[in-house]
A and B are shown apart, each in its own frame.
Chain A
Amino acid sequence: MKKLIEVKNIVKTFGSQVVLKGISLDIYENEFVTLLGPSGCGKTTLLRIIAGFLDPTEGQVMMDGQDIAAIPAYKRDVNTVFQHYALFPHLDVYDNIAFGLKIKKEPKDIIDQKVMRMISLVGLEDFKHRDVTSLSGGQQQRVAIARALVNEPKVLLLDESLSALDKNLRKEMQLELKEIQKEVGITFIFVTHDQEEALTMSDKIVIMKDGEIEQIGTPVQVYNEPVNEYCARFIGDSNIIDGTMVRDRIVRFDDVDYNCVDYGFEENEAVDIVIRPEDIDIVARNKGLINGEVKSVLFKGVHYEVIAETSSGTSKTVTMHITKNSDVDNPEAGEKISASSFYMDLEDVDNLTDSEVIARANAQAWNKEDEFVSLTKVKYDVKNEVGIYPCTFGTDKGTEITVNINVVKPQVIEDESNEEGIQAFDFYKTADEIRESVALDTDLIRWADAYAWNMEDNSRVEIWDVKYDFDDESILEGDYQVTFSTQGRELKIETTDHIEEGERIGLKWNPEDIHVMRKMG
């Protein structure tokens, strides 16, 4: 195949912002090339430079071996299909398609021939003289393609051209575009952020990030052999796991060594490991490489998407004391008051304020009309040491209640292998409060003051799971265990077998299904 376009070391800056950082790329005749990346990666800028709407700050674009820098957009042998089509609203379908030929002053009968051929290529015979604004998205798309192709360009540029269509139509247009490209036999350069689109249509995919090319390859190459975590994440659903390359063909994650086919890394080099969900097989427990518990099963049409936890996260169990309703009634004042005892961290004693005490004790007073009465008295004497301290709340009319503040040492569990810490405190509640909660998991996290963090950088880690063994509708007084835990290792699996949530299973894959990548940056 002949080289058609050579992009040589293109740099583009807008003010102080560097949008393209030295892009080099060869594009061949009759090739369907996709520039793939998230918004802001510079793919559209590159396309606009090839089209001639932007001048590169540095570098060259060669076409057929000639530098085209000096050729203005309207003389270039390329045509563009714009993101929102940019059809001329004052012209009908026919005149939109004929526009370029009329500008070139081609004879009328030739124009008519060419336009009619294009109209039938994109299947719009019945819409020739329709107003373009009255067309559907898919029809407008076809007009835009026909309008560009009728000029017989060497290269057709498509800027996110399918993004405005709905999902079904987009799939249909993907096939159609590929068909059209085969039929007219010219180079298509397609810009998109949709990896599925790129995989379906392209001969060559160019993955871009922050103005640089990360990987160039065929769809199969970029899918099976992503060069780094970024490309792996961008192309397809993946399990991407932090691991260590023990030696050639042996990789370790979650304290277990696995066979793989990769080599050429340093010994004990930290790496990213990719295992595609469709490469993992579900087998009986203890029959695979690793055991796990099914956390969720989602039906996806043809297959099920199964999430299995293979090692648990960091967890902390606390005791929830369910006490009886302790409302104090003050019939003379016509008021009632309630509050509950609470546990608190020794480290928080210094920063304790009245409003925080009220909030933690959930103290409130109300009158006969069920209107809240303000708490004007908050009395407590908490020392900076472990112990139990009384605390009294009261209203203007003398309605009072006394509860205990239990100051305890920090209740922290640190898990060295997960590099995570978690803390939570015991707490008191009434059965009513449990029953009335609308988001019990969230409330339990708040009541227990549960909090988890990453020990490496102290960033917050989400509490992923709250486990308890009571029924919140029929709970009685007594003590209950509540366990808070962070997310463990979860693997995504695609399977056609039906499987139940909570099932304990084994997982298996072949050594060649593990793909090891160098860490980025």
Chain B
Amino acid sequence: MNTNADAIVIGAGIIGATTALALTNAGMKVLVIDRGNIASGTTSAGEGNILVSDKAPGPELDLALRSRDAWFEIQEDIGGGFELEAKGGLVVARSESGVVGLRALTSVQRQAGIDAQDVSEADLRALEPHLSHSITDGALYPQDSQCQPMLAAAEILRAVRMRGGEFIAGANVTAINTSNGAVTGVVTSEGTFNAPIIVNATGTWAGQIAELAGSSLPIAPRRGFILVSVPTRKIIFHKVYDAEYVANVSSGEADLQSSAVVEGTQSGTILIGASRERVGFKDGIDFEILRVLARQAIALFPILADIQLLRAYRGFRPYAPDHLPVIGEDPLFKGFWHNAGHEGAGIGLAPASAQLIVDGILGRTSFMDATPFSPTRFTRGEVS
């Protein structure tokens, strides 16, 4: 099969979709392939977070700040349809040390350009009337947003198709062809497709795709569970989470870490996260973790004790050893670009990551220096 694409994007999750849109908008003819269907990996296993609040100053925060605004630009560009909402994040501290840590964090975040507002006890009640009375300190992040990630991926890919791109579902990549140190195409269960540029946007599975070309990427799964309640009246108004979450996000521990993240959705359900553990692609439901999540959520919102759990799901965050995404050209093969490893922040970071990829491919100056995300950092020995 010959599709004469300028670029092939492997992966139809949020990273693949936004990358395909950015390439298309730059004038390239793009083919997107996925072994499953739209959003069949980690994209459908999260809450749709677009957060700036959970990041300390550094390259990832610069990426997040740009990406947050880029989400609203995509909404303008393609006409929305994916429930994008600046609902605001509310981070609460439950201990003395937590309060001190949170104040210190908001202070440096403000210097880095985040709108981070320290919230008094009275204001906390006004923002979240059902919050536990034992909680007296918090910080509000009006920039924190949310979207429905499956719809976002689907709507974005629809725009790509309408603008001349192509999407093939159920195409499992079995080989990546290279010649003279450059990629030339992919062999899939649905045929062979050739293009001088191949973007690996396969998230948690990006290491396997890199290996098919003869390269490597140290991306591993970090499992997480989410509880979903029955639909209720609106009782939680922001994305509310425990300040400990910020520490857990950047932790390298393999053991289970869990801190409450609670929010309502447009469909009336309440989502409760977030656990993190490195146990490989372990299947099944771990009821010990569900119990911890329920306990932590009730500690924030005692009213949740009487609300029924409807279902639970798990996902595998794509995780690199230094917790930074991998965005850039492969050190061994020209034309082979990686855009993966965004861990639990993939939805939020997707549009700006896509922009870095396109600017890299076209050799343009981008909104930030992409060196911290380069895949060469693993081979240079900077990260072990």
Q: Do A and B come from one complex?
A: no
Report which A residues bind B (CB closer than 8 A): none
